[in-house]
Chain A
Amino acid sequence: GAVVSQHPSWVICKSGTSVKIECRSLDFQATTMFWYRQFPKQSLMLMATSNEGSKATYEQGVEKDKFLINHASLTLSTLTVTSAHPEDSSFYICSAIGQGGEKLFFGSGTQLSVL
């Protein structure tokens, strides 16, 4: 089946620093990837849709200058949280659409803690 690899699994950083999260599709090409954020006991909230070779589409309320998304190849999308603050602490998960365009394959997630 389709495998999506996400790194790092967890990261602790100081307030004001930037953090980059990578999402790779290992055995298929993903023209579209999605980035979600999940707070404890809450639903997955879509942050943005990442399209290879074009600008990401951000959901309402998500700051595009704070959450930089780059999808430079068919197998790699990155999310950079710039000038992170404690309120950005959350579980970030990427996903890619499998063949058929219906099922989502998720990465293992990144737990970000900003001190």
Chain B
Amino acid sequence: SQKIEQNSEALNIQEGKTATLTCNYTNYSPAYLQWYRQDPGRGPVFLLLIRENEKEKRKERLKVTFDTTLKQSLFHITASQPADSATYLCALDSGNTPLVFGKGTRLSVIA
């Protein structure tokens, strides 16, 4: 069956450290993968998109990698700040259907 797994429900890290979130998928062949940020009681906000032929994408303190062999994406936040505390969702293109989302990882950055 098809699955998207974000293997940590919650992640706590110290301010200034790099947070690394993982997204694994099975039985999908996505053309691209996206990461969103969701704050409590709010809709998700788009952060980054990475295509199947791209290994890495960066935007300010964010970095995303995409390994289609491992069927995995890693999402990094460097020099993390308390304001980065939120739930981060990965989502992938499943072909003809709309984006499919993982359950998310709730990141807490502790000052």
Contact = CB atoms under 8 A, between A and B. Distances in A.
A44 B89 contact: yes
Contact of A109 (B36, B41, B100): B41
For the side of the interface on A, what is the size category? 20 to 34
A25 interface: no
A101 to B, nearest CB: 10
Contacts of B46: 103-105
Interface residues of B, number: 22
A95 B91 CA distance: 14
Given A44-B89, A102-B32, A111 B49 contact: no
A43 B102 contact: yes
B105 to A, nearest CB: 11
Interface in B39-75: 41-46, 49
A106 B103 contact: no
A6 B44 CA distance: 13
A49 B44 contact: no
B101 interface: yes
Contacts of B9: 41
7 closest cross-chain pairs (CB), A and B: A106-B43, A43-B103, A44-B101, A109-B43, A93-B43, A103-B46, A43-B101
A113 to B, nearest CB: 13
Contacts of A104: 34, 36, 44, 46, 91, 98-99
| Among B32, B42, B45, B49: residue with most chain A CB under 10 A | B42
B55 to A, nearest CB: 19
